[in-house]
Structure 1
């Protein structure tokens, strides 16, 4: 266990449990990775790895290769022992060597790496022996200027606004073109129903029925084999297939590129097969100058994209609300602290504004009225009322006097206080609460792990079932055509038996794919 290190990676682009299973399954196969836990809501992966074999940047690259966004989250869960600095004034390799050799000789510094190209220094140190400001001062004494690498405190990785906009746009585009398609489909169903009633009551012959059916406005042929209905359906389907399904195609291609299959692959397969099959039989009918209009599935892609993109939109809205509490917790943390130097009898000698990450245990911190406490500490001078509702939930402010403890993130109300820092960085109460919430989201129940594992095999299984359905109905149809006739009601009697069998088999096969798309396991 001594050789095992832990890092956190911010992961973007995950949409469902299948994405989580995809990342976990692929990374567990890599050498040097001991374990991985991915939190869908927190957009975060906790990876335990062997630093002698693999490093965090390589882990993030492996996740990016799977088609997701990935960034190593520095200082997340590592305590105060890591420092990322920007160093200015370096001109050559000797400057790098000078900084590294001096820091490595400094008591408490465990590791140091300086990059000339990026002007960055990565330092590991023992917080009990040396503090971050001491490390910065050592570099400054060598004649270089240095500053802390600014970290993202906005919890932007918990923000789902971009995904919400993206899926809302996809839904609206699909809906705009889906409504006319549904209107055409309902109209045709009503007209067919009326024709069936006329056939039943007036004893019309099949030839008279066909003539009456052909006289309908939507069945009128613009060109031989191309009816108004099929032409309008095609025109309405193309924009949905291109614009409404754009994000589905991108995510499906990423998945297929890495030999995995997620729900997007299933949606793309169902809609693409329905569209291409309809387009091809339409071209064949036009080439043959057919008098009977072929049955097409141009209504399938718009309706499927509408429901799936609506589901994705609502899913990201829900995820955004779930992650909002964690984002608010993170935003409660102070970003800066005022460190003071005291003389005899607590006389104020100097003040310095520093980043909250540079506060060390034992520092004297000044907190003015209306300011947030940057760290946990003990009051050494001053009297005030403090709002600690973020921890206690109590709206009434609490009196603070010398000797009382204060909590990071709570708000000082009416008097200046001097506090001695007792818990800093990742050890503060607020940081621990944030860590516990994130760990709670990262941990999984055994049944959830089983469901994630199952969802990884779900898509290939559905595709296999669809292919089996296609060939099974083709075989059944050619062996006993009456079975197909029994289930394929209302087919056009003028087309050949072989065409009827193939159309019904395709319809059954596409139905399997379409029904599986919004299934409960995939959505969960």
Structure 2
């Protein structure tokens, strides 16, 4: 299952072949079949304005801005995945995701949704590898003339857990597929913040919460 606006079946095939495995497309992608309900929805979809400017998400009279810390992003595809998913939500007016800062700044309608709901929405995105926390403050803005500055509202959030780092020697790896397999499995384990596996060095560096897991547990999982 893939998102055709981010990658094509042919590109997936080439990436599999690049790591040393023969691949072919068994079933060609089907063209989208639209039913009567889908066609009616398309008719009601807002179009570009007469000036030709791109349609933007609605700006609400009472918007808030929240910053999330996101662990589990590895590439620009992760950034596009999160941005495209949340930008389709009616109560989200804008979102900017930074791979370098591991963060997402979301502007949303505070009367329609809470930061906690948005946090869960990001964690629920495929492939389910994101771990999201809310920063200690959100900024609330109002479009009313009497409002001239941002109001900072503290949130009761859980502080970041203590993290430790361990290096685990791994034997038997032969290709990048082994690396991806180990990273994919271990990154989903409880207490794991991040993992980087090196095929050349034959080891994996894991950042974890010692209250939730241990190096021995991680070694056995590998």
TM value normalised by structure 2: 0.43
Would you tell me which structure has more helix in proportion to its own residues?
1
Would you tell me which structure has more strand in proportion to its own residues?
2
Q: Say which structure, 1 or 2, has more relative contact order (CA 8 Å, 6+ apart).
A: 2
TM value normalised by structure 1: 0.20
